[in-house]
A and B are shown apart, each in its own frame.
Chain A
Amino acid sequence: GAGVSQSPRYKVAKRGQDVALRCDPISGHVSLFWYQQALGQGPEFLTYFQNEAQLDKSGLPSDRFFAERPEGSVSTLKIQRTQQEDSAVYLCASSLVTGSGNTIYFGEGSWLTVV
């Protein structure tokens, strides 16, 4: 597609429920990122993939969060046993390659509300 596509756009989950957020990066983009943006904050790095390899997951806040990109294209961010503090916008981004000067393009985000 023309841009980074994320689904669902909006998700309301009951506390304790598992959620899965999907990201379709720009076709041909090697690098894929997940960021979390809480209300009133800037985006914060969660994890990074280069093709299908997850090279950095240091930003994942707990072991309830995990991400995968099995075929080096679509990625899924899964949150198990959601908690209220997980409420945020989850932004997926992609870039052609990695490194300074390579523009990172963001999707519109998946807005998660845990009630």
Chain B
Amino acid sequence: DQQVKQNSPSLSVQEGRISILNCDYTNSMFDYFLWYKKYPAEGPTFLISISSIKDKNEDGRFTVFLNKSAKHLSLHIVPSQPGDSAVYFCAADSGAGSYQLTFGKGTKLSVIP
């Protein structure tokens, strides 16, 4: 029973275009969401996060959108660059002093030059 789902295992985007990575969750107790980026043979690196009291958070080329009613979040990367090619993991926690992150299976993004 996956509580965090990333239904697209892979995504290819042309350099300069927008990349949109999607994530759905089922646990209504989740109230903080994070995106991690992972290169091969490296650990996940924190990218951007959003609290459930917000519907958007922006950091440079990266924007995360949260739709609580749909239990859906998305990561937008614009413009996409070849160095963005990596596996992106969506993760969630239930706040209130929690510490366990629940991860999706990841989406492999390939940005084509």
Contact = CB atoms under 8 A, between A and B. Distances in A.
A31 B44 contact: no
Give the interface size bracket for B toward A.
20 to 34
Main SS of the interface on chain B? loop
B51 A101 contact: yes
Contacts of B105: 40-42
Contact of A56 (B45, B89, B100): B100
Given A43-B89, A100-B51, A108 B42 contact: yes
> Which of B49, B100, B104 has the most A CB atoms < 10 Å from its CB?
B100
Nearest to A92: B43
B103 A106 contact: no
Interface in A11-45: 31, 33, 35, 40-45
Give the interface size bracket for A toward B.
20 to 34
Contacts of B31: 100
Given A42-B106, A43-B103, A44-B103, A100 B44 contact: no
B32 interface: yes
B97 A99 contact: yes
Contacts of A103: 46, 49
Contacts of B41: 108
Contact of A104 (B4, B42, B46, B96): B46
Nearest to B104: A42
A103 B46 CA distance: 7
A100 B103 CA distance: 15
B100 A109 contact: no
Contact of A4 (B43, B51, B106): B43
Given A45-B102, A56-B100, A106-B36, 5 more contacts: A42-B91, A56-B99, A59-B100, A103-B46, A108-B41
**Shortest beta-carbon contacts, A-B, top 4:** A42-B103, A106-B43, A100-B32, A100-B95
